[in-house]
Amino acid sequence: MGRHPQPQIRQRLLVACTDHALEHGLPDRLETLAGAAGTSSRMLIYHFGNRDRLLREILGQARQRQLQAFTDLISLRPDEPYPLTLARAWSAISGPEGAPYLRMFSRLHDTAGDPLWPGFRQAATTDWLAPLEAGMRSIGRPGLATVVLAVIRGLLKDLDATGDTARTDRAFHDFLAMIDGT
């Protein structure tokens, strides 16, 4: 007779694997994740079925963490002008808080998410439009939400490629000055 599923163990393993992947990137081998989670590759297969399923769940959990953290950052606050909210959000998204997500998800942007997450690029774009639109509505420019998102995504790709924080920060603040002055 086989063991019964133990969701609390599975969840603990998923959290540990996600933490490791956010810190180091998605590994090529299960042994790396097993070591980080304090278990064996065999136990990871037992709980997740196969490597790709585990990686998809890691990506899903990491994405949920990112959405929770960054949606709050870009959401309209009644006590502050929205360009200031965006400036604060940019500092977090482009800084150490956002680096693990940039490292993990830039590969999915480059490969369109296949095969681990088909449709990732679309989801990673549309997830942010509603809070950006609400924020931009507060300054009378809801239609600029797509532009704001494109600037953020473009500058993050630039930052990822060049590591030039000073230049990308300056570019984002120049952009904010343009939308704040319109």
Q: Can you say how many angstroms the Cα of residue 79 is from the centroid of all Cα atoms in its chain?
A: 26
In a domain, 1, yes or no: no
Average pLDDT, the chain: 89
Mean pLDDT of all residues in 138-149:
94
Domain presence at residue 176:
yes
Who has greater pLDDT, 90 or 1? 90
Asked if residue 2 belongs to a domain, the reply is: no
Query: What does the pLDDT average to over 79-92?
Result: 96
In a domain, 56, yes or no: yes
What is the pLDDT confidence band of residue 152, given thresholds at 50, 70 and 90?
Answer: very high
**Domain of residue 112, residue span:** 7-180
pLDDT of res. 1? 45
| Widest distance between CA atoms in the chain | 70
pLDDT for 109: 57
pLDDT > 90? residue 5: no
CB 103 within 8 A of CB 25: yes
* Residue closest to 102 by CA, chosen among 84, 114, 90: 90
CATH code where residue 130 lies: 1.10.357.10
Phi, psi of 143 (to 5 degrees): -70, -15
pLDDT for 25 beyond 90 = no
Closest CA to 62 of 120, 126, 144, 2: 120
Q: What pLDDT was estimated at residue 86? A: 97
Instruction: Determine what percent of the chain is predicted with pLDDT higher than 70.
Output: 92
Decide if pLDDT at 142 tops 90: yes
Q: How many CA atoms lie within 13 A of 106 on its CB side?
A: 18
Examine the pLDDT at 111 and tell me if it is beyond 60: no
Tens of pLDDT, residue by residue over 37-57, are: 999 999 999 999 998 899 889
pLDDT at 122 over 90: no
Q: Indicate whether 74 pLDDT > 60.
A: yes
State the pLDDT at residue 2. Answer: 54
Of the pLDDT bands very low, low, confident and very high (cuts 50, 70, 90), residue 180 is: confident
How many domains, in total, are found in the chain?
1
pTM score: 0.82
